[in-house]
Amino acid sequence: MYLFYLTYRTAKAELERVSAEESSAREERNKFERNLTMVQHDMKENQRKLELEIEHRQKAEAKLSEVESQLQTEMSAHQAARGNSQQSVEKVQQLEKQVGSDSFVFEAFCILQQHQQQQVLV
């Protein structure tokens, strides 16, 4: 009977030890599952943020491209206007010179006519 009692006690102690290990293993598994769930949630959140950032970046790049295109168009228009302005300035200067020389010729003609009229009167 003593042997039976000893075996019973050993078996009971072994069962309690195995139960405690199982309980500890369950707690550890639950802890790992919670951590895994949190990591998966964080990963989904980071993926969402990344996709949002990519979308914002694409929109910003498109806007930048549009603004660069507008700038290039404006610069081309400005260059053309400046070229036209320079041509206009040159044309005005040419006309002023022509008017100046025509005015000189006209004045000379008027003086010559006055001189001729004075000679006819004398």
Tokens of 74: 């404006």
Mean pLDDT, residues 39-54 taken together:
97
CA distance 44 to 79: 52
For the ranges 43-47, 55-59, 91-95, the lowest mean pLDDT is seen at 91-95
CA distance 6 to 2: 6
- Enumerate the domain spans of the chain: 1-91
b (16+ CB within 10 A) / e for 30-40: eeeeeeeeeee
pLDDT per position as a tens digit, 65-110? 999 888 888 888 877 777 667 777 677 677 667 666 666 566 666 7
Residue 71: other Cβ atoms inside 10 A: 10
pLDDT attached to residue 75: 84
pLDDT attached to residue 21: 96
- For the chain, what is the radius of gyration of the CA atoms? 51
